[in-house]
Amino acid sequence: MEFPFERPNEEWSRVSRAGLAGWLIFYGLFFLNAAVDADGFLFLDHANLAIHETGHPAFGIFDWHTLTMLGGTLMELLVPLGIGLYFWWMRQTTGVAFAAFWYFENFLYIAAYMGDARTLQLPLVNAQDVGDHDWNFLFSWWGILPYDRQIAGWTRTLGWTGMISAAVWLGWMQRSQQSAPRYLKPWKAARRGPIQYGDERAPAGSPKDVT
The 10 Å Cβ neighbour count of residue 179 is 7
pLDDT at 178 (0 to 100): 82
Longest CA span, the chain: 92
pLDDT at 93 (0 to 100): 96
pLDDT at 37 (0 to 100): 82
Average per-residue pLDDT in the chain? 83
DSSP string, 28-82: HHHHHHHHH-SSS--TTHHHHHHHHHHHHHHHHTT--HHHHHHHHHHHHHHHHHH
Taking only the tens of pLDDT, the chain with its 211 residues reads 565 566 677 789 999 999 999 999 999 999 998 888 877 778 788 899 999 999 999 999 998 999 999 999 999 999 999 999 999 999 999 999 999 999 999 999 999 999 999 998 887 776 555 567 899 999 999 999 999 999 999 999 999 999 999 999 999 999 998 876 554 444 344 444 544 444 445 455 555 554 4
pLDDT in tens, 32-49: 988 888 777 787 888 999
* Whole-prediction pTM: 0.78
The residue ranges of every structural domain in the chain are 17-179
Distance CA 53, CA 60 (A): 11
